[in-house]
Chain A
Amino acid sequence: MHLEQAVFSNSELNRVFPFHIAICKKSSNVIVGVGASLQKVIGDSWHNNSLDQIFELARPRNTELDLDAMTASDKTFVFHHRFSPLSLRGLFVALLDNQFIFICSVEVMTQNTLKELGLGISNFAKNDPTPDIIILHQFRDLQLLDQQKQIEELRKLVVARDTFDQYANTDAMTGIGNRRHFWAQGSTMLNEVSEGQKTTILLLDLDGFKAINDTYGHDVGDEVLKVVATRCQQTVSDHGIVSRLGGDEFVALFRLDNLNAVGALVSSLMDAISAPMVCMNRHLVVRPSIGVSSLDNMQNMDEAIHYADLAMYEGRKKSKGTISWFTPEMQANEDHRKSLLSDIAQGIQNRDVIPYFQPIVDIRKQCVYGYEALARWEHPIHGLMFPGEFIELAAEAGCLHELDYWILESALDQLAVWDQQGSKFSIHVNFCGTSIRHGLDTKIMKLLSERRIKASRLMLELTETTLLEFEAPEKKILDDLAAQGVIIQLDDFGTGYSSLTHLHNFPVNGVKLDRSFLLNYPNNKRCLALIKSVLGMTQHLDMTVVTEGIETLEQLQWIESIGCRYGQGYYFGKPAPAQECLVALESWVPTHEKAA
């Protein structure tokens, strides 16, 4: 069923369309009534006035005010009130008797429209969504404000993150990247494909930096690090990254087309750092030791750094202040070293490390006076190994004192065996500093007592460097041993500080002159003069002197001629297992007979 006609009362019309305008076409479009809400805005100005006298048709533009045509149209019309900011938006319907009604509501132009017109929610029909536009506008404004706040918060977070990132990745002292930065950036670089380019890692350590700190203070040391960092940065940054790993250690990773270019860059870095610098008015020169690794198959940062570190370590062993390039042999040596490091403790426990004995001869009496026990490692895979190959490893593995005690015990055992066989020798045993610890004197005296060996037949050989590190407790142990008759000898005398203080402060009964003095006999007159001087001095101090390194008859004769009583060297016999010593002794021909 269709509704053909509807009849509204004025109050109903007002309730449903509170902004309507009633117009009579017959009377030249005069307004005959308006809705209550419209009345509130425009007042009585409409009375006796036509529609176009009060309102201006704003949209559609250029439309003639023809009510019949406008009623027949589906278009929406907008009228501006000529005397207020009010705009009405709606459409026309025709009533009886040439009357028309413009059914409309307020057109919201701005958020202030209602306020400017003095309208409230109650002025609108319940089904009129016009006020909702204002609400939605206000909500949108709040959303925009919220969005701005969120953006601001986000910006703060980003700034905070960047600042944190900056701090986390920067070395505070020098301002260049730190270890973390290097690891992150470097790992990325390593993982990137670099067609035809050499990726090179370089580790750099300043030589003598500690001395700068100790001599001039840490402020100067810090300045030096800053200068070095800047120079590294300037030299490398076009091709890669530079960071400070810590202390005086720097690292760089860069890419260049070929090894020549790499070599040139490394050399220029060495030159740059070695150039004189002025730090806090101090004119200084520092030189770095540089380890370089430039391989095609570096897999990760740990490996890359390790290679460069190995190169630097190997280079430093030979000479400081040099550039050392990693070679695969270095890694092989390192692997070998690590393998030995893991074996050494077990080797000592298994008694694979044993004493070899080298004779010490009483030159005047032309007889063997004693033996020096020298450690040898009979490695099940690598064969016979010398102390130079494993003493440092034993120290690194923390078992050097076990080695010393074991060699001492074995040597004393052997001495007891020789005693039983009727040969009376003294025994020389080397001890490192860390082996001189509380209870040593009791332990040694017990070993001697168990084997019925007089304390005076045991000579403990200590190096000058070892004595340097000794404090009062170690000195007391040596004093106690000496008081009980054990002889303390200074080994390798002349190669270290050759301090007379040591001879005076410690209970030293004798010295062993280092083999280096006889190396160029008879050409090095200076060395020979030194031997004479030391000999004279020690004789005055009533000390025994053993000259090491006697390898020829001429050397022996000269040593004998200057009054040195004891000698040791290949001329008399190489270190050998105990069972070979007495055999060698039987075939030993005294010097005079040889000379004859």
Chain B
Amino acid sequence: MYGLVNKAVEDLVISSAGLETWQRVKAHAALENLQLLDTTNYEDEITYSLVHSASAILDMPVDVLLHAFGRHWVLYTGEAGWAKLFSAGGDDFVSFLENLDEMHARVNMAMPDGRMPGFSLTENNTGFMLDYHSSRQGFAPMVLGVLEGLAEQFEEDWTFEHVDTREQHGLDTFQLIRETPVVVGNLRNAS
């Protein structure tokens, strides 16, 4: 994975637990001298190792950590070097998800070694179904975090449910349901 991802892990740990903890995470992963660069492509094992070490040091299950990482990823990429691209991704939550594959395809031009995930969004009677495709395993909790982070970023209220898992159905699928906004004026009228 590109260093950008690992740096987001670093940013998450440092912002939540401090620099010393991050040093301990690196030491636990036997990567004491690791200096991360955004545009360098690192072995996936480094990312896995960092995530598992962070899980051990922070005493947090890997799933929970990846979920937090997903939320942080949105914040991080929205603020880090990709902020301009992020803002061009869409005007709202749904359009952003619709454009996600195309954005990844275009990013792939700049980062040709990146193995980008794929997302397909289809509307159904309760909202949207999002299929998540990836050559990597185990990142579904992160996707859930990303969805929550995006909804928060666009200030929209959505609920998400991991309805199908890759282990059971060969694909991770999420049900996206938009919360109906409650208008204060209506409440008054109702009363």
Tell me, rounded to whole Å, the shortest Cβ–Cβ distance linking B125 to chain A: 25
In the assembled complex, A135 has its CB within 8 A of some CB on chain B: yes
In the assembled complex, B63 has its CB within 8 A of some CB on chain A: no
- Known interface pairs A138-B85, A145-B38, A146-B39. Does A120 touch B106 (Cβ–Cβ under 8 Å)? no
User: What are 28 A-to-B residue pairs whose CB atoms are below 8 Å?
Assistant: A114-B88, A115-B87, A119-B88, A120-B90, A121-B90, A121-B106, A122-B98, A131-B88, A132-B106, A135-B85, A135-B106, A135-B109, A135-B110, A136-B110, A138-B81, A138-B85, A138-B110, A139-B39, A139-B110, A141-B81, A143-B38, A143-B39, A145-B38, A146-B3, A146-B37, A146-B38, A146-B40, A149-B37
Task: Map CB proximity to B onto A143-167 as digits: 1 under 8 Å, 0 otherwise.
Answer: 1011001100100000000000000
Q: Which size bracket describes the interface of B in this complex? A: 20 to 34
Q: CA A191 – CA B91 in complex, angstroms? A: 73
Tell me, rounded to whole Å, the shortest Cβ–Cβ distance linking A555 to chain B: 85
In the assembled complex, B102 has its CB within 8 A of some CB on chain A: yes
Within B109-163, the residues touching A (CB, 8 Å) are 109-111
In the assembled complex, B16 has its CB within 8 A of some CB on chain A: no
Residue of chain B at shortest CB distance from A113: B84
B85 with A126: CB separation less than 8 A: no
A-B pairs with lowest CB-CB distance, top 6: A139-B110, A146-B37, A142-B81, A142-B38, A120-B88, A143-B39
Task: Map CB proximity to A onto B15-55 as digits: 1 under 8 Å, 0 otherwise.
Answer: 00000000000000000000101111000000000000000
Number of A-B contacts (CB under 8 A): 71
In the assembled complex, A111 has its CB within 8 A of some CB on chain B: yes
Task: Map CB proximity to B onto A89-114 as digits: 1 under 8 Å, 0 otherwise.
Answer: 00000000000000000000001101
Residue ranges of B at the interface with A (Cβ–Cβ < 8 Å): 3-4, 35, 37-40, 81-82, 84-85, 87-91, 95, 98-99, 102-103, 106-107, 109-111
In the assembled complex, A134 has its CB within 8 A of some CB on chain B: yes
Tell me, rounded to whole Å, the shortest Cβ–Cβ distance linking B39 to chain A: 5
Q: CA A149 – CA B85 in complex, angstroms? A: 23
Residue of chain B at shortest CB distance from A140: B110
Tell me, rounded to whole Å, the shortest Cβ–Cβ distance linking B40 to chain A: 7
Residues of A within 8 A of B89 (CB): 120-121
Residues of A within 8 A of B39 (CB): 139, 142-143, 146
Q: CA A135 – CA B108 in complex, angstroms? A: 10
- Known interface pairs A121-B89, A132-B106, A146-B40. Does A139 touch B35 (Cβ–Cβ under 8 Å)? no
Residue of chain B at shortest CB distance from A112: B84
B88 with A121: CB separation less than 8 A: yes
Q: CA A233 – CA B14 in complex, angstroms? A: 51
B88 with A111: CB separation less than 8 A: no
Tell me, rounded to whole Å, the shortest Cβ–Cβ distance linking A132 to chain B: 5
B90 with A122: CB separation less than 8 A: yes
B103 with A121: CB separation less than 8 A: yes
Q: CA A106 – CA B89 in complex, angstroms? A: 17
A138 with B90: CB separation less than 8 A: no
Q: CA A560 – CA B99 in complex, angstroms? A: 128
Residues of A within 8 A of B88 (CB): 114-115, 119-121, 131, 134
Residues of B within 8 A of A141 (CB): 81
Residue of chain A at shortest CB distance from B90: A120
A contact face: mostly helix, strand, loop, or mixed = helix
Residues of B within 8 A of A150 (CB): 37
Please pick, from B40, B84, B102, the residue contacting A138 in the complex, using a CB distance under 8 A: B84
Tell me, rounded to whole Å, the shortest Cβ–Cβ distance linking A145 to chain B: 7
Q: A120-B91, A131-B106, A138-B82 are in contact. List 15 more A-B contacts (CB 8 A).
A: A112-B84, A115-B87, A120-B95, A120-B99, A121-B89, A122-B95, A131-B88, A135-B107, A136-B109, A138-B110, A139-B110, A142-B39, A143-B38, A145-B81, A146-B39
Residue of chain B at shortest CB distance from A149: B37
Residues of B within 8 A of A142 (CB): 4, 38-39, 81
A149 with B110: CB separation less than 8 A: no
Residues of B within 8 A of A126 (CB): 102
Residues of A within 8 A of B95 (CB): 120, 122
Q: CA A120 – CA B40 in complex, angstroms? A: 27
Residues of A within 8 A of B3 (CB): 146
Q: CA A300 – CA B173 in complex, angstroms? A: 76
Residue of chain A at shortest CB distance from B2: A142
Q: CA A512 – CA B69 in complex, angstroms? A: 96
A139 with B111: CB separation less than 8 A: yes
Residues of B within 8 A of A120 (CB): 87-91, 95, 99
A134 with B37: CB separation less than 8 A: no
Task: Map CB proximity to B onto A232-270 as digits: 1 under 8 Å, 0 otherwise.
Answer: 000000000000000000000000000000000000000
Q: CA A286 – CA B88 in complex, angstroms? A: 81
Residue of chain B at shortest CB distance from A152: B35
Residue of chain B at shortest CB distance from A131: B106
B84 with A114: CB separation less than 8 A: yes
Q: CA A174 – CA B71 in complex, angstroms? A: 59
Tell me, rounded to whole Å, the shortest Cβ–Cβ distance linking A560 to chain B: 90
- Known interface pairs A120-B95, A122-B90, A146-B39. Does A111 touch B84 (Cβ–Cβ under 8 Å)? yes
Residues of B within 8 A of A111 (CB): 84
Residues of A within 8 A of B35 (CB): 149, 153
Tell me, rounded to whole Å, the shortest Cβ–Cβ distance linking B104 to chain A: 11
Q: CA A134 – CA B81 in complex, angstroms? A: 11
Residue of chain B at shortest CB distance from A143: B39
Residue of chain A at shortest CB distance from B4: A142
Q: CA A109 – CA B111 in complex, angstroms? A: 23
Tell me, rounded to whole Å, the shortest Cβ–Cβ distance linking B90 to chain A: 6
Q: CA A136 – CA B89 in complex, angstroms? A: 15
- Known interface pairs A122-B90, A143-B39. Does A134 touch B85 (Cβ–Cβ under 8 Å)? yes
- Known interface pairs A114-B84, A136-B110, A139-B111. Does A121 touch B38 (Cβ–Cβ under 8 Å)? no
Residues of A within 8 A of B91 (CB): 120
- Known interface pairs A111-B84, A112-B84, A146-B37. Does A121 touch B99 (Cβ–Cβ under 8 Å)? yes
Task: Map CB proximity to B onto A33-58 as digits: 1 under 8 Å, 0 otherwise.
Answer: 00000000000000000000000000
Tell me, rounded to whole Å, the shortest Cβ–Cβ distance linking A179 to chain B: 31
Residues of B within 8 A of A131 (CB): 88, 106
Within A276-300, the residues touching B (CB, 8 Å) are none
Tell me, rounded to whole Å, the shortest Cβ–Cβ distance linking B87 to chain A: 6
Residues of B within 8 A of A139 (CB): 39, 81, 110-111
